[in-house]
Structure 1
Amino acid sequence: MNIHWQWFTLDTFDTRTLLAYLRLRQDIFVVEQKCTAPEIDDYDPPAQHLVGRDKQGRVIAALRLVPPGLKFPEPSLGRVVVHPDSRRGGTGSALLREALAKSDALWPGQGNRISAQSHLQHFYGNVGFKTVSEEYEEDGLPHVEMWRES
């Protein structure tokens, strides 16, 4: 797997990368998952955004890293997406490892708390997250809160 990872803030995105990133999020969260909640929200401007490109330069994986004190007291990963053609090959795990390394470097010892879609608990568990809540509904989908220590 040869993925080029790059971090952005909203101010540092070039237009084409931002468009490809938001298109991937829209394709997964709005079209594939049929979620009608707003896809772009107030957590995007302060977040750092990780984008992964394949050898052809296509955006195939992405997420945002929300600083502590905004969504949760701790830093939080969110809007984790992997292009359907790139699933089941380790791309998602590589994405999470890259993001958690950045989170741990920026905010050592603070851990990471996420609101995960319930059916992805095993996926997040593979990188050290543990379920710490009962299931609840968020954006019309079942979620659980998960926690990972640094």
Structure 2
Amino acid sequence: MNWNLKKISELTIEELYKILKLRSEVFVVEQQCVYQDCDGKDESSYHLYLEDKGEIVAYLRILPRKISYEEMSIGRVVVKKSYRGQSVASEMLKKAIEFIEEKLNQMEIRISAQAHLINFYGSFGFKAVTEEYLEDGIPHIEMLYKK
């Protein structure tokens, strides 16, 4: 299994296709949520993903400041169903936070988390900063990480 971190211009067409396939598989099909996944933010983002035997099994994007929020942001956090429960999401989030702090020299990260994941993100130091709200029909909450 290999971790990769790339800007969109560094992704091959196959990698981009596999990323979009995984995002669609989980967010649209599994969670039964119709929304505009290709939102124009991927072009500015870093793409962190785990590849296993040619398949992308975990992914998130790291968004620069002022794209979604004033702060850096992490979004589209997804793990293929068959890889859940193996600490893949935890490892991926640690890698993203480390990259943001050490390589981009940013110490604040804002996310829009699905409400049922508050404790997961809280374990990394994210704190709820809004009331719960609906985003694409799913309860979410904004959370902020400050080093």
Deviates more, 1:85-94 or 1:108-117: 108-117
For residue 109 of structure 1, report the CA deviation from its aligned partner: 4.5
CA distance in 2, matches of 1:98, 1:110: 14
For residue 122 of structure 1, report the CA deviation from its aligned partner: 1.2
Aligned residue identity for 2:18: A
C-alpha distance after superposition, 1:33-59 (max 9, x if no partner): 1111101112111111111112x2321
Matched, 1:10 2:8: yes
Matched, 1:143 2:140: yes
CA distance in 2, matches of 1:7, 1:109: 17
* 1:64-79 equivalence runs, <5 A: 64-79=61-76
Task: Name the residue aligned to 2:116.
Answer: 119
| Superposition TM-score, scaled by structure 1 size | 0.93
**Superposed structure 1 runs of 4+ greater than 6 Å apart:** none
- The answer to whether the 8 Å contact 1:75/1:112 transfers is yes
Task: Name the residue aligned to 1:86.
Answer: 83
CA distance in 2, matches of 1:110, 1:100: 9
| Superposition TM-score, scaled by structure 2 size | 0.95
User: 1:71 aligns to what SS in structure 2?
Assistant: coil
Structure 1 pair 109/16, CA: closer, same or farther in 2 (3 Å)? Answer: closer
- The answer to whether the 8 Å contact 1:64/1:80 transfers is yes
Which has the larger helix fraction?
2
* 1:18-57 equivalence runs, <5 A: 18-54=16-52, 56-57=53-54
Aligned residue identity for 2:122: G
Aligned residues: 147
Q: Percent identity?
A: 38
C-alpha distance after superposition, 1:16-49 (max 9, x if no partner): 1111111000001100111111011121111111
CA distance in 2, matches of 1:83, 1:13: 20
Aligned residue identity for 1:60: V
CA distance in 2, matches of 1:4, 1:57: 10
Which has the larger strand fraction?
2
Which 5+ residue runs of structure 2 have no aligned equivalent?
Answer: none
CA distance in 1, matches of 2:137, 2:63: 21
Which 5+ residue runs of structure 1 have no aligned equivalent?
Answer: none
